[in-house]
Amino acid sequence: MRVRKLMVLLLGLVLLLAACSGGSDNPSSGTQEAVESGTNSSTENETSKGTDETENSGGDEVYRTPEMDFDLGGKTIKIVSWWDMTIPEDTPDNIQRKKNLEDLMQKHNFKVEYVAIDYGEYQEKVTASLLAGEPVGDIVRLGKTYTVPTLVKQDLLWPIDEYTKNPVAFNQKVTNEYYTYEDRGYGFTENQANLVQGIFYNRTLMNQLGLKPLQEYVNEDNWNWETFIKVAKEANKDTNNDGKLDTWGLANSSLMDHALYSNNTGLTKEDKQNLEDPATLDALHFISRIATEKLARPTEGGDWTEPGQFFRQGNTLMYAGALHELSGMQTDMPDYDIGFVPFPKGPNATEYHSAEALFQALTIPKAVENPEQLLYIWEKINDIESVYDYPDQASYETLFSSEDDLNNAKMVAPNMIILDHNTFPNLKYYDFVGELNEGISVSTVVEKYKSTFQAAIDEVYGP
């Protein structure tokens, strides 16, 4: 795998030196969603080939926006996020993107400024600028939880789905599924990768305890909630016979989001509470079972980082988390072999899933003129022929030493679900989860909170 990666990178550099560019393969962005540029107001919006253009590349038809001719008069385009989105020159793909941007800046006479605003003040500052009609930038990253429907309903953002049809330059799911309102898409990104969540496990401890390898359950298509509970119980052991557990099967005592996405469901569905949906009820019963059967390692009074700290101690088999945590665990656990499997499937799921509960994407404020020019430039920056075979390949091959672990991440990534319950400030999510974790029956908790959930949703969506 390492040799192959080196050959791919060398090939990419050769292609760049030969000044070859363009193509139809899906790009990947390494480890972060960063690569951009945009444009905005100004002069004419001419096209040289009409309104549609479809190219056949490598046997696959890919839509590409026809060439446009416009001069932005030296305008500086501001691209805003809570990190610096300057295109790095760390991969062959990003080197090509950077070159594309430089060519476009010369052709269309514009500059780019990347603005990074501290995350702690980001939502308040950016939202206030939109409401005042003076947006902080021309392309602005926004969290879905406070954007859809709240800002979209106020006509503060452009619907952009008609300009993002190129599947090489734009992630189609983001615009057409994840970031939509009333059948229009408002968010976009060039990043084709998704957040990967699942189960990290201590392969060294697993072998020491003589447990069946977790990968075998995946290979048998038998990695589900029941086998997960079985494994957790098997790892809860008193290995020194002092009457107390000294190894544990599960670090996380609260798994609500994981239970929901692994059963292909959510607590809310658009403008309705979804607590009484059969798949949601299954997930709630799973959470209740973890609590009542005391499967997880008991808390020692720590904060939200406690499960990760438990796992790092080397005496806890499984930890449910996200892929961006893995490098830190590897650094902190040099004497342990860490594996990765998907979060087990619930009874309503036919494939393994991942999820994002704080989804974000790029948007264009309504106060910005000519969004079609912004999206055109964004498309032309990112319409490259990637040297990688799949999104985040370079990152995966750096993180994973096991082919099984890497393939598990690849299997999960395309099946990301967006959980929207954080959209509703008065949902009382943590109270709801807390009562389930205390062992209060599912039926009692659902009956108590279903009207509270719906009222919180109505506050945001309106009558």
HEC letters along 230-246: HHHHHHCECCCCCCCCC
pLDDT-derived band at 61, boundaries 50, 70, 90? confident
Is the confidence at residue 244, as pLDDT, over 90? yes
Q: What is the pLDDT of residue 462?
A: 86
Q: What is the pLDDT of residue 319?
A: 98
Residue 47: predicted pLDDT:
29
pLDDT tens readout for residues 64-85 = 999 999 999 999 999 999 999 9
Query: Are the beta carbons of 206 and 214 closer than 8 angstroms?
Result: yes
Give the model confidence (pLDDT) of 190-209 as tens digits: 999 999 999 999 999 999 99
What is the mean predicted confidence (pLDDT) over 26-32? 30
Q: What pLDDT score was predicted for residue 49?
A: 32
- 141 - beta bridge partners? 362
CATH of the domain at 25: 3.40.190
Do 138 and 148 fall within a single domain?
A: yes
**424 part of a folded domain:** yes
Confidence (pLDDT) at 400: 97
Q: Which residues of 339-349 are buried (b: 16+ CB within 10 A; e: fewer)?
A: bbbbbbbbeeb
Output phi, psi for 269, to 5 deg. -140, 100
| Domain span including residue 161 | 2-179+359-387
d(CA 380, CA 70): 14
Lowest mean pLDDT among 34-48, 54-68, 312-326: 34-48
CB 168 within 8 A of CB 35: no
Which two structure tokens, joined as six digits, stand for 125? Answer: 């500052």
Q: In this structure, are 17 and 44 located in the same domain? A: yes
67 and 204 fall within a common domain:
no
- The length of the chain is 463
**pLDDT category of residue 250 using cuts at 50, 70 and 90:** very high
Q: Is-contact 264 417, C-beta < 8 A?
A: yes
pLDDT greater than 90 at residue 270: yes
**Does one domain contain both 329 and 363?**
no
- Tokens 């960063």 appear where? 34
Looking at the structure, do residues 424 and 351 belong to the same domain, yes or no?
A: yes
Instruction: Determine the pLDDT at residue 60.
Output: 63
Structure tokens at 440: 């209060």
Q: What CATH number is associated with residue 351?
A: 3.40.190.10
The model's pTM is 0.85
Residues 368 and 302 sit within 8 Å (Cβ to Cβ): no
pLDDT at 21 over 70: no
Looking at residues 308-326, what average pLDDT do you find? 98
Regarding whether 286 and 158 lie in a shared domain, the answer is no
Average of per-residue pLDDT values in the chain: 89
What's the total number of domains in the chain?
2
Q: What is the pLDDT of residue 4?
A: 40
Within a domain: residue 84?
yes
Per-residue confidence band for 38, with pLDDT thresholds at 50, 70 and 90: very low
Are 211 and 279 within one domain?
yes
Assign 51 a pLDDT band (cuts: 50, 70, 90): very low
Inside any domain, residue 34: yes
Comparing 21-35, 320-334, 337-351, the range with the smallest average pLDDT is: 21-35
Q: Considering only CA atoms, which of 276, 279, 274 is closest in space to residue 259?
A: 279
Indicate whether 374 and 443 sit together in one domain: no
Q: Which of 165, 160, 162 is nearest to 179 (CA)?
A: 160
